[in-house]
Amino acid sequence: MSTLRNALDELLSDIGPRIVACSGGIDSLVLATVAHANAPEITTIAHTVTPAVPSAGTARVLAHARRNGWNLELVTSNEFDDERYLSNPTDRCYYCKTNLYDAVTALAAGDLGEATILSGANIDDLGEYRPGLIAADEHDVRHPYVEADIGKAGIRSLAADLGLVEADLPASPCLASRLYTGTRVTAERLRSIEMGEAVLAEAGFAVNRCRMRGDDVLVELPESDRDGCGEALLSDVASAMRAVLPGITSVALDTRPYRSGQAILGVA
């Protein structure tokens, strides 16, 4: 067993009943896997199904739950009833996580008794603009990776040690992160983005983003991939997105390469 796994296991062993908030991304999948293996009888995995969660993430959670016997709870968060979230301010993530942790807290206070909520935030997240961490603090959420001083590279190493096929899974935050600040969050926009990114992934671009500013779409790709994205592919992306959202006016390759968080205006 790796040193990282030992550190995480030791930390988790001191936590009683716990609920792992699992989006289906690599960070929360690894945490859920380790927490369940550590003490399955006191571990619950919570996953919320909303238009902002990529369908592939939900599919991964359900597959792991079936395969590994997780105690899985699907929760309903209410961010799509929250105008503060829908208006998409710079701190949209705060309102998203507030609604998520409200729902998970209600679960923790119900049939499960008083359980500690765990998130997959890691030390690399601490240097980024993450208003969702404020919501986590307000809900007494613990971050085992942070407490164990584990970053993204360590999580991928843990995933490989665990034999998870997702060890090299590209980061895929919530679909609302593709909307430029001030572009209203709608289920149709998010579904359209998911369809466009699926076309790019199928074409071999594992890391890609379809960012929306109003009704215009900017496709972001890493610098090394930009030359491989021609007009024919952009046309295919536009067709897939317009099948969900006919009002899209343009789809173009961004003049800048992919960069995490680029849709949050005012954040360097």
Residues 8 and 29 in one domain: yes
> Which residues partner with 266 through β-bridges?
none
For position 268, what pLDDT does the model report? 41
Sequence-ordered list of residues with C-beta below 8 angstroms from that of 224, at least 6 positions apart, any chain: none
The number of beta carbons lying within 10 Å of the beta carbon of residue 37 is: 14
Handedness of CA 45, 48, 54, 59 (dihedral sign): positive
Structural domains counted in the chain: 2
Cα–Cα distance list, 49 to 21, 54, 73, 76, 209 (Å): 12, 9, 11, 7, 21
- Predicted model pTM: 0.93
Clarify whether residues 207 and 108 are in a common domain. Answer: no
Q: How far is CA 155 from CA 32, 81, 224, in A?
A: 12, 34, 25
Where does the pLDDT of residue 36 fall: very low under 50, low under 70, confident under 90, or very high at 90 and above?
very high
Last residue of a domain, one of 168, 201, 228: 168
Q: Which residues contact 111 (CB under 8 A, 6 or more apart)?
A: none
Could you tell me if 114 and 161 lie in one domain? yes
Task: For residues 46 and 148, state if they share a domain.
Answer: yes
How far apart are the C-alpha atoms of 70 and 8, rounded to whole Å? Answer: 19
Q: Give the end of a domain, one of 168, 188, 204.
A: 168
* Nearest in space to 182 (alpha carbons), one of 246, 92, 242, 96: 92
- Claim to verify: residue 159 and residue 47 sit in the same structural domain: yes
Give domain status of residue 184, yes or no.
yes
Q: What is the pLDDT of residues 65-116, one digit of tens each?
A: 999 999 999 999 999 999 999 999 999 999 999 999 999 998 877 666 689 9
How many Cβ atoms from other residues are within 10 Å of residue 128's Cβ? 10
Residue 267 has pLDDT above 60, yes or no: no
Residues 52 and 134 in one domain: yes
Give the range of the structural domain holding residue 247, as residue numbers without chain letter.
Answer: 175-253
CB contact at 8 A, 103 and 138? no
Q: In the predicted model, what is the mean pLDDT of residues 243-251? A: 98
- pLDDT band for position 23 (50/70/90)? very high
What CA–CA distances, in Å, run from 188 to 128, 172, 194, 219?
Answer: 28, 19, 10, 18
Q: What is the pLDDT of residue 171?
A: 84
**Cα–Cα distance list, 237 to 195, 213, 219, 231 (Å):** 8, 16, 9, 10
